[in-house]
Structure 1
């Protein structure tokens, strides 16, 4: 099993490399610190699995996954994070990320997750799942479909209907339908209020597609 590590902290990369190198069936194939480097290393080495930090300085690990999948890369992705953010977790679920592991996890937990994902299963940190299940406070954004969330993110970034259509590869008519549904579900009067809402809950800190 070939693994690439993507994290913007050198000590974290070294630590992860040391942990996975203990396994006789695992090969450390490369490392990267940001999205550009990650896509280059992944394309070059074709790893079976990528250990990916959710927060890469000013970038998001989720955007790395979107870009890699857009390039036809078939590697599996395990997110490593210290964030128990409901929004991060929901977006990872919507993107069907293969694994989601807290950085506080023990080495043996990480290795278990790696082997489980390599076998085609998904692994989500039990502590994180429990935390999410205990959080019964529903956000209006939870009612949105994945595509509606992408449109809402673009609204929050100030995009016009034409720009959203080009960005998400859909028609302007479809964008208008999504905007109408978003306004109804969020119970706001117009797209400006929807954009303000998107920014207030932190949706717009990530690019929907990149």
Structure 2
């Protein structure tokens, strides 16, 4: 997987390059500081994925994405930003960004987002997902049963099905059923994203590990 980084801060670019280099299947293909440089680098390297800052000095990363897609560039785009505002999030949705990650995210969360987007899925910061549901007057966690919430907390702590079964005094089969229902109700792809969600909304605190 080839990745290009677009950010107007040198330290941020170096930090991101360091994070993505943690993955053996990821190649740092290039970098840019503004929209014009970004389009040139993207067209030259044809990356699989572009990590791009929402605010590039006097430019918007969203405008770069629009221009890139108008030119027929098929790279996927993950927007990086320190903004969790509703307005920015809605604008990102309008241009159909493939991912929206807050800069306060853990490195493991960014790596997870990269892998998920590379597989063709969308990734939005779990905290933003919660805010989006609150805007519509509901929260995904409202749909969970008390036992499902307990299982979700355990997922957030990184517990496997056997550990969850032991801690909650239920069978592993029952745990699997609860996990399946949790994924469906939260509208997330797998248990790792459910764990990220649990942490983002304050249900639990944990540290993720990637084998």
Distance in structure 2 (CA, Å) of the matches to 1:107 and 1:83: 18
The superposition leaves residues 149-201 of structure 1 with CA deviations (integer Å, 9 ceiling, x where unpaired) of xxxxxxxxxxxxxxxxxxxxxxxxxxxxxxxxxxxxxxxxxxxxxxxxxxxxx
Instruction: Find the residue that maps to 2:3 and give its secondary structure.
Output: strand
Distance in structure 2 (CA, Å) of the matches to 1:95 and 1:64: 11
- Normalising by structure 2, we get a TM-score of 0.63
* Alignment pair present for 1:60 and 2:55: no
Distance in structure 2 (CA, Å) of the matches to 1:85 and 1:66: 20
The superposition leaves residues 81-110 of structure 1 with CA deviations (integer Å, 9 ceiling, x where unpaired) of 000121111111122110000000000000
Alignment of 1:170-189 (within 5 A): none
Instruction: Find the residue that maps to 1:91 and give its secondary structure.
Output: helix
Alignment of 1:128-207 (within 5 A): 128-135=128-135
Instruction: Find the residue that maps to 1:100 and give its secondary structure.
Output: strand
Correspondence for 1:141: none
Alignment of 1:28-47 (within 5 A): 28-47=28-47
Unpaired runs of at least 5, structure 1: 138-210
* Alignment pair present for 1:8 and 2:8: yes
Tell me the matched-pair count: 137
Correspondence for 1:194: none
Q: For residue 133 of structure 1, report the CA deviation from its aligned partner.
A: 2.6
Correspondence for 1:25: 25
Correspondence for 2:85: 85
Correspondence for 1:103: 103
The superposition leaves residues 19-62 of structure 1 with CA deviations (integer Å, 9 ceiling, x where unpaired) of 00111100000000100000000000000000000011110000
Deviating beyond 6 angstroms after TM superposition, the runs of 4 or more aligned structure 1 residues are none
Q: For residue 136 of structure 1, report the CA deviation from its aligned partner.
A: 5.5
Q: For residue 132 of structure 1, report the CA deviation from its aligned partner.
A: 3.0
Distance in structure 2 (CA, Å) of the matches to 1:6 and 1:78: 10
Correspondence for 1:166: none
